[in-house]
Amino acid sequence: MKNLKNINIYEGGISSIPGKKDVVKVSSNESPFGPSISVKKAISESRLKTNKYPDGNCIELKEAISKSFKLKISNLFVGNGSDEILGIACQLFLNKGDEVIVPKHSFLMFEIYSKISGGVIKRSATKNLRVDLESLLKSITKKTKMIFIAQPNNPTGFYLSKKDLAVMIKKIPKKIMIIIDAAYAEYMTDNDYSNGLEFAQKNKNVIVTRTFSKIYGLASLRLGWCYAHSNIISSMNKVRGPFNVNQLAQDAGIQALKDKKYTSNSKKHNTLWLNIMNKELSKLPIKVYDSRANFLLIDVGKSVSKLNKYLLSKSIIIRLMDKYKLPSCVRVSIGTANENKKVLQAFKDFYK
Ligand SMILES: Cc1ncc(COP(=O)(O)O)c(C=O)c1O
pLDDT interval class at 107 (50, 70, 90): very high
Ligand 1 centroid to residue 325 C-alpha, Å: 18
Phi, psi (deg, nearest 5) at residue 66: -60, -45
Q: What's the mean pLDDT when you consider all of the chain?
A: 97
Q: Is the CB of 183 under 6 A from ligand 1?
A: yes
Mutate to test the pocket of ligand 1, among 78, 184, 211 (most ligand atoms within 8 A of CB): 211
* Burial of 156: CB neighbours in 10 Å, binned 0-12, 13-18, 19+: buried
Whether residue 207 has pLDDT greater than 90: yes
Quick one: pLDDT band at residue 2, thresholds 50, 70, 90?
confident
pLDDT above 90 (res 10):
no
Structural domains present in the chain = 24-34+261-350 (3.90.1150.10), 37-259 (3.40.640.10)
State which ligand 1 atom lies nearest to the alpha carbon of 84. 11
Residue 346 confidence class, pLDDT cut points 50, 70, 90 = very high
For 33-76, the pLDDT digits (tens) are: 999 999 999 999 999 899 999 999 999 999 999 999 999 999 99
Answer whether 294 contacts ligand 1 (Cβ < 6 A): no
**pTM beyond cutoff 0.85:** yes
pLDDT at residue 1, as a whole number: 87
Q: Could you tell me the pLDDT band of residue 15, with boundaries at 50, 70 and 90? A: confident
Distance of CA 296 to the CA centre of its chain: 14
For residues 118-130, b (16+ Cβ closer than 10 Å) or e, as one string?
A: ebbbbbbebeebb
Average pLDDT, integer, range 210-236: 98
